Amino acid sequence: MSAVAADEILLHGHRVRFHRAGEGPLLVLLHGIASTADTWAPVVDALAARHTVIAPDLLGHGASAKPRGDYSLGAYASGVRDLVAALGFERGTVVGHSLGGGIAMQFAYQFPERIERLVLISSGGLGREVHAILRAATLPGSELVLALLGGAWLRATGGAVGGALARLGLRTGEDLAGVASGIGSLADAGARSAFVHTARAAIDAGGQRVSATDRLYLAAELPTLIVWGERDPIIPVEHGRAAHAAIPGSRLDVFAGAGHFPHREHPARFVAVIEDFLATTEPAAMPESRWRELLRAAR
């Protein structure tokens, strides 16, 4: 990430690496499974012009620790809360891509007093369907297969990698690069274990098994933006459209021709959409009393 400071902090005895840039209202950027904070490189400088941007490597990913432990969405959300608090922030806008979207929704659910806005990008947790490559990671023995696959991936030529991913329905460009990079990272045993535990916490052989759809009504008073690639091969755009219909007042922006990484395929457009959303919405303020009212009204 250019012009962005990389730092680290110990939380509960585990190293958490994060990028920090800019000044102003807080933006927390959460990456997807088998990815890192570097996924935000094309957009972080522009976002940091008006905001403080914090982008961590989630536990089990990148240069952060990879302990044996809890890799559920709830644990990740608590870890984000602890990081934000340890860095001296009380509230902010949370932006999540793929797995990070599921974590962002869980953060909003667990800590509604700490979130001002929610941005979901090609988000998990909004429907059953997900690409077969992630479903396969949950099968018995997947650790051994991934160990072999990760090493072979690093030794393969670019053409071999591209051909293998094309047969899985992934296009050249950011979809291919993102998935190839993720698979390559699984040659590391710690990353591989964290990947499998993270996948199994949210996915089974039939698809995504953790869903936020029964709680989306709680976001009615939380400014919410949903961004999706029209040709996303990992999580279908229909999930984004259904979430938009279920969240009163939410915004949906579908990037024509884009895949699973719209923030990387169209960074200028992505920044413009985010900046417009931030400029034209008021940050939520959810007191405990109002949270209770929403829960009771849904009975």
Please tell me which residue in 98, 122, 123, 250 is annotated as part of the active site: 98
Whether 232 is catalytic is: yes
Please tell me which residue in 19, 51, 131, 260 is annotated as part of the active site: 260
**Dihedral sign from CA coordinates of 186, 41, 28, 262:** negative
Please tell me which residue in 232, 239, 250, 266 is annotated as part of the active site: 232
Whether 98 is catalytic is: yes
Where are the extended beta strands (E) located within the chain? 5-11, 14-21, 26-30, 52-56, 92-97, 115-121, 203-204, 207-208, 224-229, 251-255
Transcribe 72-138 into DSSP letters: SHHHHHHHHHHHHHHTT---EEEEEETHHHHHHHHHHHH-GGGEEEEEEES-SSS-S---HHHHHTT
Strands 26-30 and 5-11, bridge-based pairing:
unpaired
Whether 260 is catalytic is: yes
Residues belonging to the active site: 98, 232, 260
